[in-house]
Structure 1
């Protein structure tokens, strides 16, 4: 006889997550009038330094060829897809939590960025996007007369 832990709200919590996932409007983009359904959104950190912004996006298991970065009208878009694993018919999964499919994240950038010098690199499943600020956009200190 196997002992199983009884968790009465586990099924209800799972149902609530699924309903929230279906209703969540942030999963829809308006990809040029056609609505693009996305399956997940990568976790992102945005860091501001004196001369640039750095965006770190967690994309484990996503190949570089499957990532597209665009910058248009002050909006930086990260778009791509995590491919599904090839499964053998003999495998029996008990739990699947890693999301597969399309992702999309958009960020409005301030006017102070230099769009021509944006660069990116990906290493160990972390995408880094470097968004430099324009030279004249640096804040200056103003002296106070007394």
Structure 2
């Protein structure tokens, strides 16, 4: 049985983009899975506790940015926390899209704390024959 190694890092996952996305000054960054399928790229971002209507997705040139905020838990009850592990604050994730991405067709949806961004691929140009015209 032959084992074919798939490319682990595509230009879409450039290391600079990944490093800048995971190290934030705000203290948290949603974890993402990025998958390439036959006709699209798919970004799945874990955003539990973040209201979907508070997430902003923007395209600028070939860079897709996801911005949002998870608000800190506020309670009227008395007492103090003895442990705080959940983070709150704003986040930004940015991804450089490949040339094959069709930015005009990007869609997003969310469910159960997961944001799904679908980025269709552009149709590949079909080969064509060029006719040579006789001059004169």
Shared fold by TM > 0.5?
yes
> Size of the alignment, in residue pairs?
106
5+ long unaligned stretches in structure 2: 1-21, 128-136
TM-score by length of 2: 0.72
Counting only pairs closer than 5 Å after superposition, residues 57-68 of structure 1 correspond to structure 2 as 57-68=45-56
Q: CA RMSD in A?
A: 2.0
TM-score by length of 1: 0.67
5+ long unaligned stretches in structure 1: 1-24, 28-36, 141-146
Question: Alpha-carbon deviations, 1:23-74, whole Å to 9, x = none?
Answer: xx932xxxxxxxxx53311000000001100000000000012100011110
Structure with the largest fraction of helix? 1
Corresponding residue SS for 1:134:
coil
CA gap of 1:131–1:121, structure 2 versus 1, over 3 A, is same
Runs of 4+ in 1 over 3 A off after TM superposition: none
Q: Looking at both structures, which has the greater relative contact order when contacts are Cα pairs under 8 Å and sequence separation is at least 6? A: 2
